[in-house]
Amino acid sequence: MKNNNAITPRNQDFAKWYTDVVRAAHLADYSSVKGCIVMEPNGYAIWEKMQSILDKEFKKLGHVNCQMPMLIPENLLKKESDLVEGFAPEVAWVTEGGKKELEEKLCIRPTSETLFCDYYATHIKSHRDLPKLYNQWCNVMRWEKETRPFLRGREFLWQEGHTIHETAAEAEKETDQMMGIYNWFHNEILAMPAIRGKKTEKEKFSGAVYTLTNEALMYNGVALQLGTSHYFGQKFSKAYGVTFTNKENKEDYPYQTSWGTTTRMIGGLIMVHSDDYGLVLPPRIAPKQVVIIPIGNDSNIIAKAEELEKKLIDQDICTYIDRTDKSPGFKFAEAEVNGIPIRIEIGSRDLNNNVIVFARRDTREKITVSLDTDLVSYTKELLETIQKDMYNRAKQRRDELTFEAHNLTEMENILNKQPGFIHAMWCGNQECEEKIKEIKGCKSRCILEDAEAIDDVCVCCGKEAKHHVVWGIQY
């Protein structure tokens, strides 16, 4: 079969293909405000499922949700100089209220560290008030120059965790623990084989002592940062005057973290798994896992469809019957472009032969299954098989686009031929990092702290190497 005519072939124009999938699957549409998208029900349903899974994991660890204001006074933002410097080019400001010019302009939050610190300064007095494990689900605004739906927008949805602790050990444990949650989510739920590591000083979050990251590789070999976790130490508490009386009855500064992931994950899902026929979703994140399509209006067909729908829903498999007044072929194509993991077709001829047909979205394979089969168990097993197979295909693709480089010439040859993850050693000098960036904008994605060295000298300067780094071109 030919690909969906509304979708540009992936290998012909990847950027156009991506946009076509977003629109054909009704995930998002452009709005009249540049860089701000309309997230359509299909796209928002994916985000809702991401929220529900992650929120449950956060709460297992004792985190609670709250909501901070979306406006930040300029004086508050300026208290932490690194944060100001890092976000200054992306900040949007409110300067008027009604028809009156404001005495102090207000920043539309690009991130909320300042707001949480301002709150903590008045709500933490003693070690008995610690820790505070807060998270919020909200929107933020960053005035990006170039935008693309889900991947880079001026306004986007995310969650941002902000915790504050009595000791450095507790805060660092939190930083590592939340990176572990993200790594589990990206690999096990999104079926995206992600690499976990540490950002370099140049690439870490503004104001952080260090930043942990999860990095994934898209089908075209371009890297995408999926989630980050930051250890702040006492930098923010000192800047914002957050103090507490410790167990020795002495005044001290608490230790902080923040961690977040965004709707960018939806863009990652598209670019890792989807194809020329539309969206492909791993079953564990698909809002709708099974669609049943009756072929015809025969009462026996409808009865069988409803019977199967009930059985699947009773087993927590998100299932629906397509009852729309459309042709079977149109319904098949619609389920396919929307990425429904399993399509079940029920027709008169099938029932006469005591069978129904299962269609896998990931491989587009059709399987004839006897009605004597335990269809609920079969569906569960098939969903797990699809999830596993999607992860394995994504991992195979990532591994095919993972390279080693031992000098700049090798790195340049790799990037000129095919972007991907490049493993190479680094001396730790920022000048070398900047030099590497001159090659097609290649950046350090993360330091692999426990990985074996692949060389003893820096890929750039030839001096003694200190870090095993994964490099790549990023979105």
Average pLDDT over residues 237-242: 95
CB-based contact 191:273 (threshold 8 Å): yes
Q: Which amino acid does the sequence have at 381?
A: E
**For residue 88, pLDDT beyond 90:** no
Show the tokens assigned to 254: 């608490």
**For residue 2, pLDDT beyond 60:** no
Give the pLDDT of residue 3.
67
Q: Rounded to whole angstroms, how far apart are CA atoms 192 and 269?
A: 8
pLDDT band at 80 (very low <50, low <70, confident <90, very high): confident
8-57: pLDDT as tens digits:
999 999 999 999 999 999 999 999 998 899 999 999 999 999 999 999 99
Burial bucket for residue 67 (CB in 10 Å: 0-12, 13-18, 19+): exposed
Q: How many helices (H) and strands (E) does the chain have?
A: 14, 23
Residue 383, CA distances (Å) to 34, 230, 300, 361, 368 in order: 39, 35, 26, 11, 16
159 bridge partner residues? 137, 261
Burial bucket for residue 239 (CB in 10 Å: 0-12, 13-18, 19+): buried
Q: Rounded to whole angstroms, how far apart are CA atoms 425 and 405?
A: 8
pLDDT band at 93 (very low <50, low <70, confident <90, very high): very high
- Closest to 271 (Cα-Cα) out of 28, 22, 36: 22
Give the pLDDT of residue 297.
87
What residue ranges define each of the domains in the chain, with the CATH number in brackets? 14-273 (3.30.930.10), 290-385 (3.40.50.800), 402-472 (3.30.110.30)
Give the pLDDT of residue 252.
98
Q: Rounded to whole angstroms, how far apart are CA atoms 255 and 269?
A: 34
CB-based contact 266:254 (threshold 8 Å): no
- Closest to 150 (Cα-Cα) out of 39, 276, 289, 312: 39
**For residue 334, pLDDT beyond 50:** yes
- Work out the number of other CB atoms within 10 angstroms of the CB of residue 11: 10
Which residues contact residue 289 at a Cβ distance below 8 angstroms, ignoring those fewer than 6 apart? 283, 317, 318, 319, 340, 341, 342, 383
157-170: pLDDT as tens digits:
999 999 999 999 99
Q: Please name the residue that has the structure tokens 């560290």.
A: 113
Average pLDDT over residues 108-112: 94
Show the tokens assigned to 181: 């949650």
CA Rg, the chain, in Å? 25
| Helix 375-400 / helix 264-273 crossing angle, nearest 10 deg | 90
The DSSP letter of residue 2 is P
**For residue 337, pLDDT beyond 70:** yes
HSE at residue 345, side-chain half, CA atoms within 13 A, is 22
Average pLDDT over residues 441-466: 96
HSE at residue 37, side-chain half, CA atoms within 13 A, is 24
Give the pLDDT of residue 89.
84
- Work out the number of other CB atoms within 10 angstroms of the CB of residue 449: 11
CB-based contact 248:303 (threshold 8 Å): no
User: What secondary structure does DSSP assign to 410-472, as a single string?
Assistant: HHHHHHHH---EEEEEE-S-HHHHHHHHTTTT-EEEEE-TTSPPS-SB-TTT-SB--EEEEEE
**pTM for this entry:** 0.95
**3-class SS at 101?**
strand
- Work out the number of other CB atoms within 10 angstroms of the CB of residue 327: 10
351-374: pLDDT as tens digits:
999 999 999 999 999 999 999 999
Give the pLDDT of residue 1.
46
198-234: pLDDT as tens digits:
999 999 998 899 999 999 999 999 999 999 999 999 9
Give the pLDDT of residue 145.
86
Burial bucket for residue 370 (CB in 10 Å: 0-12, 13-18, 19+): exposed
HSE at residue 186, side-chain half, CA atoms within 13 A, is 32
Cite the beta strand spans of 200-354 per DSSP E: 210-217, 223-233, 244-245, 251-252, 255-262, 290-295, 319-321, 342-347
142-152: pLDDT as tens digits:
998 888 999 99
HSE at residue 226, side-chain half, CA atoms within 13 A, is 33
